[in-house]
Amino acid sequence: MKFASPWFLLFLLVLPLWLWREQRVTRQGGLKFSSVATARSLSSFWAALGPALLLLLRGATLLLVVAALARPQLGRSESKIRTEGIDILLVLDISGSMWARDYQKGGQLESRINAAKDVVREFIRARPNDRIGMVVFGTRAYVASPLTLDHDWLERNLDRVRIGLVEGNTAIGAGIGTAVNRLRDTKAKSKVIVLLTDGGENVYNPPALEAAKAAREFNVRVYAVGAGSDYKGPIQVIDDDGNFRGMIRADLDEDLLKQIATATGGQYFRAADTASLRKTYTQIDSMEKQKVEMLAYEEWQELFPWFLAPGLGCLLLAVTLEQTRLRRLP
């Protein structure tokens, strides 16, 4: 229940003052006698409780009329939320170079793959209402998770992703193409690929730019993220078991990633350290927000007659009693 004109309730502030005044008037007699012994012997119910009853009826009248003026309403409201869904494929490079330790976490060196998984996990948790899937690629690409709203299951699959699941080259085109095949027939209003890689293309099956053209044909935007530091010297490659795998040098093909993003209406981001990697996924998250439309319905029933009628009834009864049984002498 709500009040359509709640300001009328302020009149209730005068109720205590009015009650105090009425009690004072009631205590004052209409006639003066040298002795009230005879009157007390003639006491009756009306004589004893009549003044209190009148006071109660007047107070109830004031209370009910003020409540009626405030227009109490009883009703219900209903809201419907309509969203335009976004389907997102996370495409993650798991070639051998992703073991390179040039990111940091808590002051310690961290591999590119583990830093990427941490940030991707945060990205997933920030979008609970979107269908998200995952493709990983090295020499070949495969679907690590189809599009799903079960993000707990998606995160468990992310935890199982490791380097060595496929051969260790970099087939960027295969990663994009596999993701496009998953998105091409979906009914989502927006289709997005978030591609993360740290290397240049060395497997052309299909070429990355051809895969980008296919993405554009199916209205799929590609946000490309270039991972790895800007350090030009050799970088240690150490696997998750602590085994030394050799040294590599940065071979990120930024020009290719820019072309892929431009061709599909997406954007290229450079993530040279952990902070910029996290910022990149935050930016992508803000750029691909769902469009939400809320439709609200309200239906209210006026209740003031249920307060006004008994209020007028109390007033009528009080006036009737004052003029008959509880009539006072002047």
Question: In the prediction, which pLDDT does 79 show?
Answer: 60
Going by pLDDT thresholds of 50, 70 and 90, the confidence category of residue 314 is: confident
State the total domains in the chain: 2
Is 330 domain-assigned?
no
- Phi, psi (deg, nearest 5) at residue 319: -65, -40
- As a whole number of angstroms, the distance between CA 253 and CA 15 comes to 81
Say whether both 71 and 198 belong to one domain.
no
Tell me, what CATH number does 112's domain have?
3.40.50.410
Answer yes or no: do 62 and 187 share one domain: no
Domain that holds residue 309: 2-28+37-76+300-323
What is the reported pLDDT for 195?
97
Does one domain contain both 56 and 140? Answer: no
pLDDT of amino acid 76 = 67
Question: What's the predicted TM-score (pTM) here?
Answer: 0.65
Output the pLDDT for position 165.
74
**pLDDT above 90 coverage of the chain, percent:** 45
User: Tens of pLDDT along 48-63?
Assistant: 566 677 778 777 888 8
> Quick one: CA dihedral 32, 35, 40, 42, positive or negative?
negative
Three-state DSSP at 57 gives: helix
Please give the Cα distance from 216 to 263 (Å, whole number): 7
pLDDT greater than 50 at residue 42 = no
Average pLDDT of span 219-235: 91
Do both 111 and 132 map to the same domain? yes
For 52-56, 112-116, 325-329, which range has the lowest pLDDT when averaged over its residues?
Answer: 325-329
What proportion of the chain, given as a percentage, has pLDDT over 70?
A: 83
pLDDT in tens, 254-295: 999 999 999 999 999 999 999 999 999 999 998 887 665 555
Question: Got the DSSP string for 106-146?
Answer: TTEEE-HHHHHHHHHHHHHHT-TTSEEEEEEESSSEEEEEE
